[in-house]
Structure 1
Amino acid sequence: MTEGRIPAERRRRKPTRSGVVLSEEVIVDCALRLVGQHGPDALSVRRLGAALGCDPSALYRYFHNTDDLLLALADRIIGEAQAGFEPDGMPWEEGLREMALRVHGCYRKHPRVAAMAAYRVTRRLNEFRAVDTGIGLLRRAGFDDASAVRYYAAFIDTVLGHAALDAAHLALPVERRVADDRAWVGEYAELSPRTHPHLAAARGQLPLMGGSSFEVALELLLAALVAAASGEGV
């Protein structure tokens, strides 16, 4: 049994008032839906109990507390990102690229959860598999164990950092998100070349600041890893 998990004998098998048979999967499904609709405040045993038609105390048979549940949500997203991912038959750098795109895409799909959990360590099966896969790809590239671990940490932190930024942007109210994006063709475009010469010179390209820089950062990082694997250094 994974350390900290709730023993199976404590889990409920009778249907709730709404006819739902509780399980970790059912609770995580409900929590993902509620957080997606209502934000972080929805992650409470009271709201989950109401949505599932059960006494809130029943949820403690599956999760120690809401932080334990948050880690399960994060691990679910990691699992979604890995579904169908089989990197063994592709070059190592292509495997890392696909892994990064999958993780980033799944966090964008669940932006409110991503903003809460992208920086957490889930200590669960999907994360174990993902870390093993990533380090394995870098060992296949020829890096020694210490380098593979160090470079994987840099790789996944870059991916998750951008995922959290982009997710937080998506989780903003629409009017705030639009205002932030418009700033690059509004306030920034109006700055004087006398006070901000470089911004004025690059005025036509500033809208690029409004999009995600994730793919650019990913390609820069992959290029550095390819160079390091060929002996050119990072």
Structure 2
Amino acid sequence: MSERVVPPTARQRRRPTKQGVVLSEELIVATALRLIEEHGAEALSVRRLGRALGADPSSLYRYFRHTDDLMLAIADELIGRTLRIWRPTGDWRADLRDLGLRMHAGALAHPRAAVLSSYRVTGRAYEIQAVETILGVLREAGFPDADAVRIYHAFVDQSLAFGTLDSASTALPKAAREAETAVWRATYARLPRATHPHIAATARHLMADMPRSSYPAALDMLLSAAAARLAEIRERAEA
């Protein structure tokens, strides 16, 4: 795509596409997201996207300057899909845990798109809303601003990192995923105690735990550390 883009007020396509639909930014993003999950990163081309929409590829320039601009919109839409179903309760720890798990689940629902977009900073509406919301949860819980930012940073990076890691695993062919899972039983569970005493002692736990994502446990550790920090802050304030 080029650097030419039409302002939002002038983007509406007056005539339906060949498939009888009226183009919009939302429709283009949803279609691109579907194509990425079906075909991978190579699906994100103007020609293939135009074909899927039944529209002239040049009409996409009315909405996005280039494919990277579209990729940022896709990343922002993934954030939005999480925010639209998340409902805070006022319990900061429970709310962040629920939000983190929903972010992780959202990545696994769109693994190929998550791998492509999780490291991007979009500067778009949903990302801004997420930053404002998470900082608000932390500041209202009583964290000073510097602590709120550090915990926000760790919380978001942890969620995105695990989302990318687990999405990459999910995107593997089924046979490859099953082969990797089998390694824990076929290799690690058979290592002798004489040469690998710690692996041998924990083998049954490794076989049970390693095929699963460690994100819930890591998230709980992060939130426990944050809670301990908040308790320390309150103790100092009362002293």
TM-score, length of structure 2 as denominator length = 0.91
Shift of 1:74: 1.1
Q: CA RMSD in A?
A: 1.7
Amino acid at match of 2:33: L
Taking the aligned partners of 1:132 and 1:123, their CA distance within structure 2 comes to 12
Amino acid at match of 1:23: S
For 2:212, the equivalent position in structure 1 comes to: 211
Gaps of 5+ in 1: none
Shift of 1:10: 4.7
Contact residue 107 and residue 163 of structure 2 kept, 8 A: yes
Give aligned-pair identity as a percent. Answer: 50
Contact residue 6 and residue 63 of structure 2 kept, 8 A: yes
1:71 aligns with 2:107: no
Contact residue 11 and residue 24 of structure 2 kept, 8 A: no
Amino acid at match of 1:127: E
Residues 132, 6 of structure 1: CA spacing in aligned structure 2 closer, same or farther, 3 A cutoff? farther
Contact residue 36 and residue 112 of structure 1 kept, 8 A: yes
For 1:221, the equivalent position in structure 2 comes to: 222
1:27 aligns with 2:22: no
Taking the aligned partners of 1:200 and 1:100, their CA distance within structure 2 comes to 33
For 1:59, the equivalent position in structure 2 comes to: 60
Taking the aligned partners of 2:14 and 2:126, their CA distance within structure 1 comes to 25
Q: Spell out, residue by residue over 1:58-95, the C-alpha distance to the aligned partner (whole angstroms, 9 max, x if none).
A: 111111111111111111111110114232x4211111
Taking the aligned partners of 1:193 and 1:46, their CA distance within structure 2 comes to 58
Residues 62, 98 of structure 1: CA spacing in aligned structure 2 closer, same or farther, 3 A cutoff? same
Amino acid at match of 1:14: R
Taking the aligned partners of 1:192 and 1:13, their CA distance within structure 2 comes to 71
Shift of 1:53: 1.1
Contact residue 11 and residue 62 of structure 1 kept, 8 A: no
TM-score, length of structure 1 as denominator length = 0.92
Contact residue 166 and residue 212 of structure 1 kept, 8 A: yes
For 1:113, the equivalent position in structure 2 comes to: 113
Number of paired residues? 229
Shift of 1:226: 0.5
1:103 aligns with 2:111: no
Amino acid at match of 2:81: E
Moved over 6 A (4+): none
For 2:43, the equivalent position in structure 1 comes to: 42
Taking the aligned partners of 1:65 and 1:179, their CA distance within structure 2 comes to 39
Contact residue 71 and residue 122 of structure 1 kept, 8 A: yes
Shift of 1:194: 2.9
Taking the aligned partners of 2:124 and 2:14, their CA distance within structure 1 comes to 23
Shift of 1:5: 7.2
Q: Spell out, residue by residue over 1:195-223, the C-alpha distance to the aligned partner (whole angstroms, 9 max, x if none).
A: 32211111111121111001000100010
For 1:177, the equivalent position in structure 2 comes to: 177
Gaps of 5+ in 2: 235-239
Q: SS of the counterpart of 1:17? A: coil
For 1:199, the equivalent position in structure 2 comes to: 199
Q: SS of the counterpart of 1:192? A: coil
Q: Spell out, residue by residue over 1:12-40, the C-alpha distance to the aligned partner (whole angstroms, 9 max, x if none).
A: 33211222211101101111111111111
Q: SS of the counterpart of 1:210? A: coil
Taking the aligned partners of 1:106 and 1:57, their CA distance within structure 2 comes to 31
For 1:7, the equivalent position in structure 2 comes to: 7
Shift of 1:156: 0.7
Q: Spell out, residue by residue over 1:27-56, the C-alpha distance to the aligned partner (whole angstroms, 9 max, x if none).
A: 011111111111111111111011111121
Shift of 1:232: 7.0
Taking the aligned partners of 1:143 and 1:164, their CA distance within structure 2 comes to 28
Contact residue 115 and residue 168 of structure 1 kept, 8 A: yes
